[in-house]
Chain A
Amino acid sequence: GAVVSQHPSRVICKSGTSVKIECRSLDFQATTMFWYRQFPKKSLMLMATSNEGSKATYEQGVEKDKFLINHASLTLSTLTVTSAHPEDSSFYICSARSNWGGHTEAFFGQGTRLTVV
């Protein structure tokens, strides 16, 4: 299957700083990438849909000025958590959509564990 690489896997940052998370599709072009957040013992929560060359579409309740998404190329999307607070500590996962055999599948990055201290 397709490979999606997410970096870093773990990051600890101080309150008030910004953190950038990268998501790359290694062997296919992804016009659409998705950013999820997962709280402990909860399912994936879609934060935003990232479209190459255009603005991201944010889900209701997600602050677009706090979670900056850039999808500058067909293989790279970035999520920047700005002015991080401890409540932003979470597991962030990206996925890229690929169409094969007539259906759609989401391939996931490894996830990023963000801890804000």
Chain B
Amino acid sequence: GQNIDQPTEMTATEGAIVQINCTYQTSGFNGLFWYQQHAGEAPTFLSYNVLDGLEEKGRFSSFLSRSKGYSYLLLKELQMKDSASYLCAVVDSNYQLIWGAGTKLIIKP
């Protein structure tokens, strides 16, 4: 079966750095997305990785290791508005999006 694992919840301090991990086992791989979702809202796109390595975009970076079936989202200089759920999603061989359950990130002052 297809499986994506993320921690259920994480807590971090404003101004700090947090890394949210995602491991996956899917039938094929055509890319990995990270989405941010605030409570009561639809997900919004953060990043896309299809090749190994680190993609940096402002305060957010995403890393992928295809051989390990592993990705992480790194958030720097945390702000209170970063409190949200972060969803990892993998595109499988049929170009279907397989979703993780999401990681709820709580930012404390």
The chain A residues found within 8 Å of chain B, CB to CB, are: 1, 6, 34, 41-44, 46, 91, 93, 97, 103-111, 113
Contacts and interface: CB of A to CB of B under 8 A. Distances in A.
Given A44-B43, A110-B41, A110-B42, A104 B91 contact: yes
B87 A43 contact: yes
A23 to B, nearest CB: 11
Interface of B: 30-31, 33, 40-45, 48, 50, 87, 89, 91, 95, 97, 99-102, 104
A103 B31 contact: yes
A44 B89 CA distance: 10
A57 B45 CA distance: 25
Contacts of B50: 103
A75 B101 CA distance: 29
A41 B102 CA distance: 9
In the A-B complex, the 6 residue pairs with the smallest Cβ-Cβ separation, listed nearest first, are A111-B42, A43-B101, A108-B42, A43-B99, A43-B102, A44-B99
A36 to B, nearest CB: 9
Nearest to A101: B48
Contacts of A34: 97
A108 B99 contact: no
A43 B3 CA distance: 13
A6 B41 CA distance: 12
A104 B87 contact: no
Contact of A103 (B48, B102, B104): B48
